[in-house]
Structure 1
Amino acid sequence: MVAHLVRLKLTLLRNGLRRSPWQVVGLVVGAIYGLGALVLVVGSMGVLSVQEPDIRGLVVVLVGSVLVLGWWVVPLVAFGIDSTVDPARFVTFGIPRRSLLTGLALTGLIGIPGVVSAGSALALAGVWWRTPVALVVGIVCSVIGLATCVIGARATTSAASTLVASRRFREVAAALAVLPFIVVGPILGRLSDSSAITARTLEQIAEVLSWTPLGAAWAVPGDVADGQWATAAARFGIAVATLLVVVVVWDRAFAHALVNPAHEKVSTRGHGLGWFDRLPATPLGAVTARCLTYWARDPRYALAVAIVPVLAIVFYVVSPDGGLVLLIGPIAGYLMGWGISADVAYDGTAFWTHVAAPLHGTTDRLGRVIAAGTIAVPAVVVLTIGSALLAGQPEVIPALLGLSFGVLLTALGGSSVLSALVVYPVQLPGENPFQTKQGASMATVLSQFAGWLAVMALSLPEIVLAVLAVRGGSATLGWVTLVVGILLGSVLLAIGVRIGGRALDRTGPDLLRKIVAFA
């Protein structure tokens, strides 16, 4: 049965590649990337193998711990990964659970992540080739560590199967999981520039990890090489106990999942009509209410909001004394204003209701702008004032507010025009909001770039005034920037809504046809 499951996984992968040439392209790209990563790890471990034992042990523990953590965490948010042999598919088969668990564990190594991880684990063991006993122990511990990676991944996903089955959990988890990856680069750069990360700091981190389930297995060969047999035995015990725990957790969670397969829960509690209860029963009120509901509940919209505070953190880490910090407000205004440029595409086939209803294009455009502005205006005010205070320049608040509002209003007007002219494939509701959809043409990319350039060009008056006010320290010029930004932005927004509305009246059926073709 174990061999049959392995053959089944290979067959499913082969058949999947025959279904679409894009999957072949994806596999080739992934294989190249994985091979490059593996060559990098093996080469680095080869260089490391001639270093002192303490350095070898330090690096091996850190790399091994990251490997284990990645296997345990990534499957929880990268839903859809390795779904070819989903345990839920075996609910109706009378397969002995032990055979099923063994087979599914081995299938976890089939694929690019499994091959790269296995090669990396052996490379971590090969670091100790100069000490034969440590090399043998390292190979054994690498097998234990690799098994902990794969089975731990199965255990976490099986134990969280009820939550992962919930679309809301998947959406929130995906949004939260990507945030550390956005800020980690600037933070590490800042720390390295300030010499905050020293060899002693890395040694302390590795020492802590070596006594945890993440790094215990990888630390044992180093202890053997140093002749610390008691410490090696203690850490080996932690590694074996960790493997046994994840096996038991997976076994129990898997047994429960087989009897109680996860499914989407449907709430029966009444919540009223939400924003539709609060806004007037008019075409404008209906469009605004629907869009506000999307901004509050759809992760594709929520990302436009979530990315703003993340950028604020990044800018503050990179330049805490000014400079980039002062750009937080204007950039937030652009991102949140331009966020509705894909509104029609995000509507999907439900856009037919706008086409079929006696709804004027201008009303549609204005309703979307009001919904976006309800969230964007307070956010821009808070971020702009906060950035000025963080930079220690409260006197530039009027100038920054004028620039931020000017960019926000101009972006809302520009996106109102663009979304009435261009649609492109976007993530469907419930899909990972970070994945990239195939089918977007070069015309789409160019239209987005052209829209960005147009917004920047139309915002030049307030940009110039704001730069002069901030650099010259002129309070009067700052207030002039505020007035110009609001007035000019409002005029451009009104023009954009009007032009976009007329365009939508003309292009609505054609946009719907394209959206249906994407679906």
Structure 2
Amino acid sequence: MTRAAHRPGDDEPAQVPGAADASGQPTEGPGPGAAAGAPAAGAASSDRTGTSSVRTGTSPVRSGTVARTAPRASMASAASVLVPLKLSLLRNGLRQSTGRTAAYIASGVLALLVAAAQLLGLVLLRGTAHVGTVTVLLTAVLALGWAVMPLFFPGGDETLDPTRLVMLPLRPHPLTGALLAASLVGIGPLFALCLLVGSAAATARGAAGTAVAVVAVPLALLLCVTLARVVATANIRLLTSRKGRDLAVLSGLVIAVGVQVVNFGAQRLGEAGGLAALDPVAAVVRWLPPAAATGAVASASEGAYGRAAGQLLLSVAALAVLLRYWRRSLVRLMTAPDSSTLAAGEPARKESAPALERLLPEGRTGTVMRRALRYVWRDPKTKAAWITALAIGLIVPLFNALQGRGTIYFACFAAGMLGIQMYNQFGQDTSAFWMVAMTISSPRDAYLELRARALALSLITLPYSASVTVATAALLDNWRALPEALGLSFALLGAMLATGAVASVRFPYSIPQDSGYKNVAPGQAGLAWISIFGGMLGAALLCAPVIALTIWLHVASADGPTWILLPLGTAYGALVAAVGLRLAAPQAAARLPEILTAVSKG
């Protein structure tokens, strides 16, 4: 009877593949002629303590050593694959088009020039009174940028999405190290490294400060990169969805708001006596990683070695916590089922209409208003345009009021920015406009279509413009001018609705949906400029009577009844809007084929 092969038990240790035999030659296990169950050369034996070892000719090697070195080898091998993979993705992405290559090179050169300028500026600050405050706060802002940027640029780095590797046999430990190594490749890490090196060079003094700087710079860099990875991994389901991709279109808005905040903060610092006003804030921030690592350099340079050690230990602990949380997030992300697949398997549930939609009128007007509001909420390009208009319309009057340079009339900027959304109403429909065109058979149908779109826009614009005007009046403490500012805003909004309806019919253009940055189809830029700027000029001319009345009331008497501008401006805006819609409706009904051709080019 053939002897059955038996598995090694507790009394017979398992064979370790790849071990060496007594002659020093490696073996993969017993050959085909070996008897089943016979111990092979180089097999592991058991000692008295029960710890197995591998005989390698002369000296046994503990299997625990092999087990401990295996993850390191796996991490190195995974990193040796992911780092070249990221370089290949970058190289292949640049080969797609010459424009993309030029944009990447230009942005890279600009980033490196800015990094070099910051490095030089920080080195020149060496020895100044508040250099420690500057470096600590600069590191904190850098970390904040690393944490926020993955939310707005999820497609900038393909390796940010670990779900692409879910089918590969990778363990969490080597995968974490490999992804971290891949994150250190690129312009962003180089920019951060220059800034951190400059911060360390500006504050390090003596041998102790230099020694701490050698540890603090890579530690702070690893904290920034790991923080970005943690945020990206925790939100990867959102970032790869439609709603997550909408965030990318708002990156320009975030930069614009950030520039305004920095400008406002610089002015406030000049009024408050300079950087000394930030010392209390820096005293707290220097204990928050990764700014704590930069603060440790200044502490060691001042001779406070205990404080420097505490700040470094705090940074190391924060890095360990982030790595542990990242590893657990990777395990949960790559093993848990996707909620979208779970939802697909569940029976469909009937959702009730939102409360706002239930308040809309019935018939064509209510239907068109629902469609327009859903465009604002769901379409990425429309949503980005609306959010940008809302933010800029708020930033310009309020920041000027906070800086003490504004007037209440700047509140009209909000109505102007939102009124622009009336231009090119049919362009957001793209080629689907044919379904709208099929429902228009007369100027009356066209009028109802345009009026419903204007009403949907007014549903957001009217309360928003009023709120911005009230907030501006409160900041300026100029409540007396509030009625006239509201009247001017409502008159401007009505004029822009009128000119926007005409421009949408006479100068429609397509909005490409497959491009993240182009809002005009190729060859239609001239139509866009005519539509927007021509309409804005026409709206300003239509508002001339209200503006002239405002000037006359102020010139005639300092205490004139300027409150009358609120009802007059509101009534004038409504009248102008109604006339503009009436004039645009017959043209829309007559030009349906031309409009469809224009908006379908994208």
TM-score range, shorter chain: 0.7 to 0.9
Larger Rg: 2
Check whether the contact 2:154–2:240 (CA below 8 A) recurs between aligned residues: no
User: Match for residue 100 of structure 2?
Assistant: 23
Identity of aligned residues (%): 25
Alignment partner of 1:316 is 2:423: no
Structure 1 residue 412 and structure 2 residue 497: aligned? yes
TM-score (norm 2): 0.76
Q: Which moved more, 1:270-279 or 1:402-411?
A: 270-279
Which whole-Å deviations, capped at 9, do the CAs of 1:118-175 have from their partners, x for residues lacking one? Answer: 2322333333575344223212211011011111110122123344455446657959
Letter in structure 1 aligned against 2:433? F
1:454 to 1:233, Cα distance in 2 relative to 1, 3 A? same
Match of 1:369 in 2: 454
Q: Which moved more, 1:77-86 or 1:211-220?
A: 77-86
Query: Which of 349, 364, 372 lines up with 1:291 in the alignment?
Result: 372
The CA RMSD over aligned residues, in Å, is 3.2
Deviation at 1:88, TM superposition (A): 1.3
**C-alpha distance after superposition, 1:13-71 (max 9, x if no partner):** 1111111223112202211320221121121122123x24x644332212222111211
For 2:350, the equivalent position in structure 1 comes to 270
Higher relative contact order (CA 8 A, sep 6+): 1
Show the counterpart of 2:318: 242
Cα distance in structure 2, aligned partners of 1:59 and 1:479: 50
Query: 2:192, 2:299 → 1: CA distance?
Result: 23
- Name stretches of at least 5 consecutive residues in structure 2 with no aligned partner: 1-77
Residues 262 and 439 (structure 1), Cα distance of their counterparts in 2 relative to 1, 3 Å cut: farther
Output aligned runs, 1:54-203, within 5 Å.
55-83=130-158, 86-127=161-202, 131-165=206-240, 167-168=242-243, 171=246, 174=250, 180-181=257-258, 183-193=260-270, 195-196=271-272, 198-203=274-279
Deviations 1:310-329 (A, max 9, x none): 4443233123xxx7341244
Residue number among 374, 378, 381 corresponding to 2:463 in the alignment: 378
**Contact conserved, 1:330 with 1:407, CA < 8 A, in 2?**
yes
Contact 2:132/2:203, CA 8 A, preserved across alignment: no
Matches of 2:224 and 2:470, distance apart in 1: 46
Matching residue's letter, 1:340: M
Q: Call closer, same or farther: CA 1:231–1:198 in 2, change over 3 Å.
A: same
Range with greater deviation from structure 2 (3-12 or 507-516): 507-516
Map of 1:425-504 to 2, 5 A cutoff?
A: 426=511, 428=513, 435=517, 437=519, 439=521, 442-443=525-526, 444-470=528-554, 478=562, 481-482=565-566, 484-504=568-588
> Per the alignment, in what secondary structure is the counterpart of residue 423 of structure 2?
helix
Partner amino acid, structure 2, of 1:330: C
Distance in structure 1 (CA, Å) of the matches to 2:296 and 2:431: 57
1:346 to 428, 433, 447: 428
Contact 1:165/1:264 (8 A) holds in 2:
no
Q: Which moved more, 1:506-515 or 1:406-415?
A: 506-515
CA distance in 1, matches of 2:537, 2:468: 24
Structure with higher helix content = 1
Which digits, 9 at most, give the CA deviation of each residue in 1:257-280, with x for residues without a partner?
111365658695433345665444
Alpha carbons of structure 1 residues 192 and 508: separation in structure 2 relative to 1, 3 Å: farther
CA shift digits 1:51-97 (9 cap, x unpaired): 24x64433221222211121112212333231355211101111233
The change in CA–CA distance for 1:378 and 1:226 in structure 2 (over 3 A counts) is: closer
Q: Secondary structure at the match of 1:19?
A: coil
**SS in structure 2 of the partner of residue 366 of structure 1:** helix
Matched residue count:
509
Decide whether aligned partners of structure 1 residues 467 and 417 sit closer, same or farther in structure 2, where only a CA change above 3 A counts: same
Match of 2:70 in 1: none
Map residues 212-231 of structure 1 onto 2, 5 A cutoff. 212-231=288-307
Structure 1 residue 184: Cα displacement: 0.5
- Structure 1's unaligned 5+ residue stretches are none
